[in-house]
């Protein structure tokens, strides 16, 4: 039965391309790549840590299992996996892959909606295109088009993972394609902010956190442990760890300093976990304030929109929010400045000849 054990070469950063990856020149110590053919005659791979002799023993064990499946002495993996168990395993895999809690929670919402749709079977292998279409039809009447696409993208990623794990032979969403959606940014209006702060009078901990989210433009995890601790707080500013481990500093207002002073006995300025923050702000405070279609990230969008609407230069806004380039900022906020474009046109026009006057054309002699 075909199979190999080879030294494992990790992918490392390409010095010629910041976002690129190349294979390292040296193999990793005590790490091997096991390649084998499964019961469907498809090549599979597995990374093994340990001695080479142990990796070779592992290959032999896999080959024995494949042989038993072919001889029908053992059920195939895709024949015995419950949908909910597979999804729990998938969530654990997402955590191990470094996905944020907020991302995993959103996957869980999508999966829960799918389960509640009334599936004909609880086994991964039995999910069909018909189940996906039924879910799409029902979900269209419950959520926005963008939310539906998010649900479908999450389900597609899950079923693709199930295929890689050999829990099914083919994803029921293999032919799903999604249109690119340019959705308008969702920020809180002045009226919504007033209602939100009124509701948060009964939850002062979250009121302080919302204040910091808006005044710093921080992403959800950037103000929570382990990214944000007392070591990030200075006398008149704080240090935020952003995407790709970049750092940005934000100045503190007097009210923000007083909030931090009142919390100095705590283990961290905001010692909460994201799921609890999401429940208290989005699921309770937003709901009680009548705020729809917003999440915690909307507070960051609110910070950016307020700066832009108050006439702050787009380059300064981009630097404040820590965007990778000013193009990202323009994509999100340029539409908030139609009056500015009109004003600039007036400035240009003021130095031009009056087109309403009649000029006599004199050709060159």
Give the span between the Cα atoms of 360 and 365, in whole angstroms: 15
Bigger pLDDT: 364 vs 40: 40
DSSP 285: I
pLDDT band per the 50, 70, 90 thresholds, residue 45: confident
Q: What's the rounded mean pLDDT across residues 146-170?
A: 87
Q: Which domains does the chain have, with CATH numbers?
A: 3-74 (no CATH), 83-164 (1.10.150.130), 190-341 (1.10.443.10)
> Ranked by mean pLDDT, which of 96-105, 113-122, 253-262 comes out on top?
253-262
Mean pLDDT for all residues in the chain: 85
pLDDT the model gives residue 310: 87
Phi, psi of 114 (to 5 degrees): -65, -45
Confidence of residue 178 (pLDDT cuts 50, 70, 90): low
pTM tops 0.75, yes or no: no
Nearest to 279 by CA among 293, 295, 300: 295
pLDDT value at 184 more than 90: no
| Poorest-pLDDT segment among 6-20, 122-136, 301-315 | 6-20
For 237, the token pair is 């500013």
What is the pLDDT at residue 183?
64
Could you read off the pLDDT of 15-33 as tens digits, one per residue?
777 667 788 888 998 999 9
Tracing tokens 């917003």 back to the chain, one arrives at: 294
- Res 320 pLDDT > 60: yes
* Mean pLDDT on 229-242: 94
| Backbone phi, psi, residue 31, to 5° | -140, 130
């Amino acid at each position: 039965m075909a199979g190999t054990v080879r030294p494992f070469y990790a992918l490392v950063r390409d010095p010629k391309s910041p976002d690129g990856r190349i294979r390292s020149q040296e193999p990793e110590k005590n790490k091997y790549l096991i390649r084998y053919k499964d019961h469907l005659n498809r090549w599979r791979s597995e990374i093994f840590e340990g001695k080479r002799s142990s990796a070779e023993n592992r290959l032999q064990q896999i080959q024995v299992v494949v042989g038993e499946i072919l001889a029908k002495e053992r059920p195939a993996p895709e024949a015995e996996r419950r949908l909910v168990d597979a999804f729990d395993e998938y969530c654990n895999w997402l955590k191990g892959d470094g996905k944020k809690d907020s991302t995993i929670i959103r996957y869980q919402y999508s999966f829960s909606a799918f389960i509640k749709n009334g599936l004909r079977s609880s086994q991964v292998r039995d999910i069909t295109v018909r189940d996906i279409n039924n879910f799409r039809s029902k979900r269209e009447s419950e959520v926005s088009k963008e939310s539906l696409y998010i649900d479908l993208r999450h389900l597609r990623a899950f079923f693709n993972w199930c295929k890689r794990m050999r829990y099914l032979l083919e994803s029921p969403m293999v032919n799903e394609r999604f249109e690119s959606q340019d959705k308008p940014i969702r920020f809180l209006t002045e009226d919504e902010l007033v209602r939100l702060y009124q509701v948060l009078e009964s939850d002062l901990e979250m009121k302080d956190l919302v204040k910091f989210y808006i005044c710093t433009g921080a992403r959800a995890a950037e103000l929570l442990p382990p990214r944000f601790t007392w070591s990030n707080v200075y006398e008149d500013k704080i240090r935020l760890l952003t995407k790709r481990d970049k750092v940005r500093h934000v100045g503190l207002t007097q009210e923000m300093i007083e909030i931090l002073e009142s919390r100095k006995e705590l283990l961290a300025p905001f010692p909460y976990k994201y799921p609890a923050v999401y429940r208290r702000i989005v699921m309770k405070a937003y709901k009680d304030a009548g705020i729809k279609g917003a999440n915690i990230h909307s507070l960051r969008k609110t910070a950016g929109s307020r700066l832009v609407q108050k006439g702050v230069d787009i380059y300064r806004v981009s630097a404040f929010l820590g965007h990778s380039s000013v193009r990202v900022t323009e994509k999100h906020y340029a539409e908030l400045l139609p009056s500015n474009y009109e004003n600039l046109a007036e400035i240009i026009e003021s130095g031009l000849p009056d087109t309403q006057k009649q000029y006599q054309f004199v050709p060159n002699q």
